[in-house]
């Protein structure tokens, strides 16, 4: 495939977002490119979930944190850090837990059903690919709906933990009515006084207070087996379709580098520049909720 960035997306050296001159032409080119390769591995990021009400950090709908993300070492060693995390995550869960798949998630599931998408690898922790019907999803960074005890290893359902946290903190949920900022990893911004009011709950198996959502924290490595499975999917499908990821962290960018080294086609659909733009064969700056259903529609027209 000829490596290119065309005038209706942006130039490789663009320092700011440039709107497509002809979105319909961009969409047609994207559909033709997807149709030209038998099967794609999808790598999705936070930009795919923004239309479900979950913001990202770097795209047009993103937010900037006023505090650093929770570090794994701090969480493991400090009861205060765990209390701070769970206070914020408890209030943020209502947004994450109630989110529904959007048109982009459903389009990925439909493309997989038709055999155009093979593997689905996501950097998101919201479970929306599975809710939309995608199968065999590799949750690179884990999922927020499962809780693991760091001491005994027992796993439990997030909904049950949230029920216990609510009972242990009467009236705390009312703070959520005023929360306007929810981060992609499911927590919110609170002041120190609000955090200190919060009470955590213990593991029901061993009594430890070291309960953690089954997600990869800052400073923690993605489990090796997940990375190997994702590489295996990519090597099977031999094409990479990046959806809504800035590729700023190596956990996602490494798959772009691998695809480029192997000569696999790389297509990036994102509303902003990405770290992988120079390795891409095609760059498209369109909202995913519009672009992906448009691809499905055009592929349907080709088979009629």
Clarify whether 141 is annotated catalytic: yes
Structure tokens at 115: 């055999």
Q: How far is the C-alpha of 4 from the C-alpha of 32, rounded, in Å?
A: 14
β-strand partners of 283: 268
Residues in the chain: 304
Which residues are part of a known binding site for Zn(2+)? Answer: 149, 152, 203, 206
Instruction: Give start and end residues of each alpha helix (H) in the chain.
Output: 23-36, 72-77, 79-97, 103-113, 128-132, 158-168, 192-196, 224-237, 250-262, 288-303
Which residues are part of a known binding site for NAD(+)? Answer: 123-126, 244-246, 270-272, 288
3-state secondary structure of 116: coil
The catalytic position among 100, 105, 141, 258 is 141
Which residues are part of a known binding site? Answer: 123-126, 149, 152, 203, 206, 244-246, 270-272, 288
Per-position DSSP letters for 29-48, written without gaps between them: HHHHHHHHSS-EEEEE-GGG
Q: How far is the C-alpha of 142 from the C-alpha of 160, rounded, in Å?
A: 18
231 with 258: CB under 8 angstroms?
yes
Residue with tokens 């048109």: 103
Residues annotated as part of the active site: 141
């Amino acid at each position: 495939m000829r490596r290119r960035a065309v005038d209706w997306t942006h130039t490789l050296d663009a320092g700011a977002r440039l709107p497509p001159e002809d979105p319909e032409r961009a969409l047609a080119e994207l559909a033709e490119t997807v149709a030209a390769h038998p099967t794609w591995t999808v790598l999705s990021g936070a930009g795919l979930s923004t239309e479900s009400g979950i913001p990202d950090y770097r795209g047009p709908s993103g937010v900037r944190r006023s505090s650093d993300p929770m570090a794994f070492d701090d969480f493991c060693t400090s009861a205060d850090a765990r209390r701070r995390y769970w206070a914020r995550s408890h209030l943020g869960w209502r947004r994450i837990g109630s989110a529904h798949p959007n048109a982009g998630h459903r389009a990925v599931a439909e493309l997989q059903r038709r055999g155009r998408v093979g593997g689905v690898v996501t950097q998101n922790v919201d479970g929306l690919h599975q809710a939309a019907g995608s199968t065999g999803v590799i949750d690179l960074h884990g999922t927020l709906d499962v809780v693991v005890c760091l001491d005994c290893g027992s796993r439990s359902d997030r909904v049950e933990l949230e029920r216990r946290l609510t009972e242990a903190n009467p009236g705390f949920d009312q703070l959520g009515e005023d929360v306007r900022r929810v981060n992609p990893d499911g927590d919110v911004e609170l002041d120190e006084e609000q955090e200190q009011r919060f009470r955590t709950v213990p593991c029901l198996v061993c009594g430890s207070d070291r309960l953690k959502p089954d997600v990869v924290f800052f400073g923690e490595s993605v489990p090796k087996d997940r990375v190997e499975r994702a590489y295996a999917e990519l090597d099977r499908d031999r094409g990479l379709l990046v959806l809504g990821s800035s590729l700023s962290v190596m956990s996602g960018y490494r798959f772009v580098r691998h695809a480029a080294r192997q000569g696999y086609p790389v297509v990036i659909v994102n509303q902003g520049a990405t770290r992988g733009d120079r390795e891409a064969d095609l760059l498209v700056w369109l909202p995913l909720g519009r672009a992906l259903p448009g691809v499905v529609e055009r592929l349907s027209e080709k088979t009629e």
